[in-house]
């Protein structure tokens, strides 16, 4: 049974806990640095691995990053907050506890807007808090051993906790994508999932359709891709549905996502906040922020992805899909705006960027980079096409030459390959029509679909260098004589 069939009988209640690694120069409670993919256990210090006598100190940059996120989601920013010890025992947690926040987080409330099925949803947040990351375990199933790398131990994180208001696995994926967008826009994290800088825990329960009651929830830990967030939640919904339909109960449990088997597997049963034995960290006094720190961040002008979306829809009359694509990153949004500001219509700029330009980057599996094709070059190409000085196909060819060879657009245009001034279009059309006298007679007898045949012949002769509008205008003149 698929998800949509299950949804006819059951409501899905989904909450997410998303961990974002912050781009701070040092770890959250020590001066030790962290960088991905370094030699194991070379980026450690007494504090990050919990050696006796090593005391933590809070990283102000991490606090400022959390406040920036709180501002972006319109959350309540706490001037006073504390840190707590969260106890659990796992080999990659050297102290036997994690420094996190419990009853006094830095951010409470707020919401993240997402679009799903053409409708806007404001996903409410419970809290956003600061904490340290754990190390990393590497398991070798062949010889049944595990290795530990503590480089990541102590890296700065924010954990974003939603209310249980997500109603479909696809919403969860979209929400996670939006979080990545936001932290990129406000420059607090690259959130590269392949580097473990964005991870997600998902809480799922099923409720009888329309009952409004919560079912027994389960939690899937450490999901590390957008696709897997949706797949993991779908897998657990199917498992819970099968249990309930067969008269069994869902037990509160913690699961892990097995990517090879495409299923969520139970790790352990029952886990509550009490199990972690939270208490205030005795080595970290309560934080009381200066008003100036919060005021400076709150006074900064920050444009967010949904600000661009709203502007592109309301001012430029773009569709939601067009606006969403063009606001994927701040670089793309600014690139689009620069072309529109130069005098190109928003619709035309959108079409060229989201199709022709992105196609080139996608072919090479590259992220968008405006240096590969400056906005001035794309503006000039679109304008030449609009003025019928080059064809759409010629514009695409020029765009590709700039992208692949790094050539200047003026150099390409001056090469003569796109100069049509020496082409006598009238003579070319007359020659083709004389060679196709049968088709001309059939056209004049009512077979108007042959217009496409004539255009194709002319394009082959001119190598697609003449505007369709010019070809059609000249064809009509000659065919009507």
Give the separation between CA 401 and CA 335, rounded to whole angstroms: 19
Per-residue HEC secondary structure of the chain comes to CCHHHHCCCEEEEEEEEEEEECCCCCCCCCCCCCCCCCCCCCCCCCCCCCCCCCCCCCCHHHHHHHHHHHHHCCCEECCEECCEEEECCCCCCCCCEEEECCCCCCEECCEEEEEECCEEEEEEEEEEEEEECCCEEEEECCCCEEEEECCCCCCEEEEEEECCCECCHHHHHHHHHHHHHHHHHCCCCCCCHHHCCEEEEEEEEEEECCCCCCCCCEEEEEECCHHHHHHHHHHHHHHHHHHHHCCCCCCCEEEEEECCCCEEEEEEECCCHHHHCCEECCCCCCEECCHHHHHHHHHCCCCCHHHHHHHHHHCCCCCHHHHHHHCCCHHHHHHHHHHHHCCCCHHHHHHHHHHHHHHHHHHCCCCCCCCCCCHHHHHHHHHHHHCCCCCHHHHHHHHHHHHHHCCCHHHHHHCCCCCCCCCCHHHHHHHHHHHCHHHHHHHHCCCCCHHHHHHHHHHHHHCCCCCHHHHHHHHHHHHCC
How much is the pLDDT for 381?
A: 93
How much is the pLDDT for 423?
A: 63
Q: Kindly list the averaged pLDDT for each block of 10 residues, start to end, along the chain of length 481.
A: 91 97 96 93 94 94 98 97 93 93 97 96 98 91 89 97 97 97 96 94 95 91 93 95 94 89 83 81 95 94 94 96 96 97 96 96 93 94 87 88 88 71 71 79 79 79 70 75 68
How much is the pLDDT for 419?
A: 58
Give the separation between CA 286 and CA 261, rounded to whole angstroms: 45
Give the Cβ contact number of residue 476 at 10 Å.
11
| β-sheet bridge partners, residue 458 | none
Q: pTM for this one? A: 0.87
Give the separation between CA 127 and CA 104, rounded to whole angstroms: 10
Residue 274 in tokens? 């009490």
Pick the CATH number of 425-479 from 3.40.50, 1.10.860, 1.10.10, 1.25.10: 1.10.10
How much is the pLDDT for 424?
A: 67
* Residue whose tokens read 């770890």: 27
Structural domain boundaries of the chain? 3-297, 305-414, 425-479
Query: Count of alpha carbons within 13 Å of 295, Cβ hemisphere only?
Result: 3
């Amino acid at each position: 049974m698929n998800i949509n069939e299950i949804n006819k009988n059951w409501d899905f209640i989904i909450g997410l806990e998303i961990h974002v690694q912050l781009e701070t120069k040092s770890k959250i409670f020590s001066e030790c640095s962290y960088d991905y993919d370094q030699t194991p256990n070379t980026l450690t210090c007494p504090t990050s691995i919990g050696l006796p006598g090593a005391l933590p100190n809070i990283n102000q940059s991490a606090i400022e990053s959390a406040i920036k996120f709180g501002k972006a989601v319109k959350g309540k920013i706490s001037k006073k907050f504390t840190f707590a010890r969260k106890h659990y025992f796992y080999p990659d947690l050297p102290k036997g506890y994690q420094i996190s926040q419990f009853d006094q987080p830095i951010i409470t409330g707020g919401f993240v807007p997402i679009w799903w099925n053409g409708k806007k949803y404001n996903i409410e947040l419970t809290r956003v808090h600061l904490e340290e990351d754990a190390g990393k375990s590497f398991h070798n199933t062949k010889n049944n051993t595990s290795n530990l790398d503590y480089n990541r131990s102590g890296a700065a994180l924010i954990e974003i906790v939603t209310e249980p208001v997500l109603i479909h696995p696809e919403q969860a994926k979209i929400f996670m994508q939006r979080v990545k967008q936001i932290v990129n826009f406000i420059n607090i994290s690259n959130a590269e999932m392949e580097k473990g800088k964005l991870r997600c825990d998902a809480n799922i329960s099923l409720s009888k359709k329309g009952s409004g009651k919560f079912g027994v929830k389960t939690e899937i830990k450490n999901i590390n891709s957008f696709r897997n967030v949706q797949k993991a939640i779908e897998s657990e919904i199917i498992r819970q549905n099968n249990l309930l339909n067969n008269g069994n109960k869902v037990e509160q449990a913690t699961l892990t996502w097995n990517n090879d088997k495409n299923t969520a597997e139970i790790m352990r049963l029952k886990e509550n906040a009490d199990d972690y034995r939270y208490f205030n960290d005795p080595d970290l006094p309560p934080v009381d922020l200066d008003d100036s720190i919060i005021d400076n961040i709150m006074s900064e002008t920050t444009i967010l992805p949904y600000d661009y979306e709203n502007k592109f829809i309301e001012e430029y009359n773009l569709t939601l899909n067009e606006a969403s694509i063009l606001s994927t990153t701040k670089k793309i949004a600014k690139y689009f705006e620069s072309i529109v500001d130069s005098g190109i219509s928003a619709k035309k700029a959108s079409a060229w960027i989201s199709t022709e330009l992105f196609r080139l980057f996608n072919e090479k599996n590259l992220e968008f980079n405006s240096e590969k094709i400056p906005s001035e070059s794309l503006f000039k190409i679109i304008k030449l096409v609009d003025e019928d000085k080059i064809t759409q196909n010629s514009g695409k060819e020029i765009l590709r030459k700039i992208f692949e060879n790094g050539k200047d657009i003026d150099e390409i245009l001056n090469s003569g390959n796109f100069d049509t001034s020496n082409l006598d279009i009238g003579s070319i059309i007359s020659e083709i029509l004389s060679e196709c006298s049968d088709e001309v007679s059939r056209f004049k007898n009512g077979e108007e679909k042959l217009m496409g045949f004539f255009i194709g012949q002319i394009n082959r002769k001119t190598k697609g260098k003449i505007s369709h509008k010019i070809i059609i205008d000249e064809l009509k003149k000659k065919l009507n004589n």
